[in-house]
Structure 1
């Protein structure tokens, strides 16, 4: 018996940013990226992946304390919010599938990006820095913004990502990273 191809259900196919399609069930929890027949490598993220995949634990805690979410399903800042920021900034570079109806996948949301996993990591860090700068700009103390901007002049996103990934020892076998 064939399975129906309903959005998010069994047999669901996701239209990738490159225009190709991929069965959602071929994306597993440990997959960070895959080589596509289009010739590019696409990063994959699931809502169950921890935010620490991209950011140090202390920063994730600060973001959770500072950012109020309005979602009952996702009451705490996390990976879905990070990927929401990426999707908002790069809407044509992110494909999303709600797979919450398919209990065999192990997650509720899947994102596939036009970026490879390393570039996605950089994009997330860049956008979080912009978010932090925006928050600091609302402070009543102009010296805070000046200090933050001064520190960001010395911050190298690429070097941070290299160091963070090395510290996390991200290998192909790692799950949730």
Structure 2
């Protein structure tokens, strides 16, 4: 007997920003991009993807040490990164809570209107903005001046290109959390 498609439950259908929809069972845990019927590739992120998908592990450690979370998600991670993206681009990211569906292997999934490379750039840009905002509240003009000087030399596109070239997506820091 077929199961009904109840939002957030077993058999959930995710309405994508492009107007198409995808069954959550078609979104594999290891999937980073979904080739949609609309002709575009959409980035796929699940809660089990580590934040090192976007940043080197040393930077993930720094973010975890400096960013306090006040939710039940634990330490700063992919769920928080995608929350930042969702806040900035609410109409361009579809999300679904499928924690009741043990067949998929993840609890949260996000599918963006962007491909995985563009999503990577957006995540980096938003974290840089977050860092800048945090420094603006610090009592150190010297730290803010140094950060601004460092950002003049920082190229998001170049960082993403290099990180994606060098990143071993099957390494020890890229396993389910």
TM-score by length of 1: 0.94
Q: Which residue in the other structure is 2:74 paired with?
A: 75
Q: Which residue in the other structure is 1:88 paired with?
A: 87
Superposed displacement of residue 60, structure 1: 0.7
1:141 aligns with 2:140: yes
d(CA) in 2 for partners of 1:140, 1:83: 29
RMSD across aligned C-alpha pairs, in angstroms?
1.4
Structure 2 runs not aligned, ≥5 long: none
d(CA) in 1 for partners of 2:26, 2:125: 29
TM-score by length of 2: 0.94
Q: Which residue in the other structure is 2:124 paired with?
A: 125
Superposed displacement of residue 139, structure 1: 1.0
Listed one character per residue, the Cα deviations across residues 44-103 of structure 1 (whole Å, up to 9, x for unaligned) are: 00001000000111111111111111112x111000000000000000110000000001
d(CA) in 2 for partners of 1:75, 1:121: 22
- SS of the residue aligned with 1:22? strand
**How many residues are matched?**
173
Q: Check whether the contact 1:53–1:176 (CA below 8 A) recurs between aligned residues.
A: no
d(CA) in 1 for partners of 2:34, 2:2: 27
Listed one character per residue, the Cα deviations across residues 121-169 of structure 1 (whole Å, up to 9, x for unaligned) are: 0000000000000111111111211110111011000110011111114
Q: Which residue in the other structure is 2:48 paired with?
A: 48
1:167 aligns with 2:166: yes
Runs (4+) of structure 1 exceeding 4 A deviation are none
Q: Which residue in the other structure is 2:108 paired with?
A: 109
Structure 1 runs not aligned, ≥5 long: none
Q: Check whether the contact 1:44–1:112 (CA below 8 A) recurs between aligned residues.
A: yes
d(CA) in 2 for partners of 1:176, 1:88: 26
